[in-house]
Amino acid sequence: MNPDVALFHLLNNLTGTFLALDTIALFIVNDYAVPALFAFIVGALWFAGHAERERVVFKSGVLSTLVGLLLANLIVKLCWMTFFRPRPFAAEETVRLLFYRPSVSSFPSEPVATLMALAFGVYLFERRVGLIMLALTFAFAFTRVMAGVHYPSDVIAGALIGAGAVYAPFRYGAATNGLNARIIDLAKRFGLA
Amino acid sequence: MWGEGNLTPNYILFCACGSFGALQFVAGKYARRDLTPFAPRLAQLVGAVFVIFAFAWFFRIQPDLFIPGLAGGEFVVYSFVGFVIAFLISRLLGWLATRFTPRHVHALAPRKRELHSK
């Protein structure tokens, strides 16, 4: 058997085994909990920092993370336009479904790419918070497979796209530094910084 | 625009409440008097309570979270709206606290910090 499919069945078989695990998975896997928490964190980090210089680092980090997030979503959409992979519940037999049936392509996982872009982006300028977000992203990816809506390769690809897309603006962000500074100045002028 | 039932207004309120909590926490951690009326430690506590309350309330009031609900674009827009509401409330509270705090408290605050640094 294809190792991707074998691993999928191994994780999916956990569904319905332990009530506590199902409850935790249901809390993590839905479209609201982890993405909303990440939105709260990234929004609040815009205002973080003691000294002015530190505040600029946080604001630039948030802006670069948002650029990476847009890039990640664009890459996922391009992948979907060129390639369609059916969801496990549509392609496999005996899938235990813990979630609704999404209709878009299974590969790559958009929510995982989105969360990874936010988590890895924050990790690049605020390690401790970033590590917590990365752990939550890992838990989210795990539960998406467990819930029967993604293959392991879908979430791995989503994570790689998210991390790669957000790394680019940080690594090669010299071109956007001027733009970041202008946005921060504009925000300050309107009392948003 | 509002989707099924009360999901959208509830989600906006959830985002506003959670964002307000996160803002209070950060304002407390980095001593941003312009965003919180509370003392730093209290602001962090209030922030954590608001975030936990937001999740507890939203997941209790919306039992149908596991069926298709909001789309990706709607999430972004409504999260942003919630954040703007939270930011405006934080700014207003910070402004009110600064406006109505006796002057001698402001004058003492930096001196206290200096003493700690020594």
Give residue-wise pLDDT tens across range A92-125. 888 888 777 888 889 999 999 999 999 999 999 9
Q: How far is B19 from chain A (nearest CA, A)?
A: 5
Residue-wise pLDDT for B38-87, tens only, equals 999 999 999 999 999 999 999 998 776 666 667 777 888 999 999 999 99
- Residues contacting residue A148 through CB under 8 Å, at least 6 positions apart: A12, A15, A88, A89, A95, A96, A97, A98, A99
Axis crossing angle, helix A3-12 with helix A127-146, rounded to the nearest 10: 90
Residue of A nearest to B30 (CA): A50
Residue B23 domain-assigned (yes or no)? yes
Q: Where are the beta strands (DSSP E) in chain B?
A: none
CATH code reported for the domain at A3-189: 1.20.144.10
Compare all CA atoms of chain A with the CA of B76 and give the residue at the minimum distance. Answer: A39
Chain B stretch 25-54, residues whose beta carbon is closer than 8 A to a beta carbon of chain A: 25-27, 29-32, 35, 51
From A50, which residue of chain B is nearest by alpha-carbon distance?
B30
Give domain status of residue B80, yes or no. Answer: yes
pLDDT tens, position by position, A27-78: 898 888 999 999 999 999 999 999 999 999 999 999 999 999 999 999 999 9
Please check the confidence at residue B118 and state whether its pLDDT lies above 50: no
Which residue type does B69 have?
A: G
Q: Which domain holds residue B105?
A: 7-117
Alpha-carbon torsion (A131, A133, A135, A138), positive or negative: negative
Total count of domains within chain B: 1
Q: Is residue B74 part of a domain?
A: yes
- Is B1 within the bounds of a domain? no
Calculate mean pLDDT across residues B25-43.
94
pLDDT, tens digit, 9 for 90 and up, residues A136-180 = 999 999 999 999 999 999 999 999 999 999 998 888 776 667 788
- Residue B1 is predicted with a pLDDT of 52
Cross-chain Cβ contact A40/B72 below 8 Å: no
Of B25, B53, B51, the closest CA to residue B40 belongs to: B25
Residue A100 confidence (pLDDT): 79
Query: Which of B11, B75, B88 to mutate to test binding with chain A, by most A CBs within 10 Å of its CB?
Result: B75
Q: What are the structural domain ranges in chain A?
A: 3-189
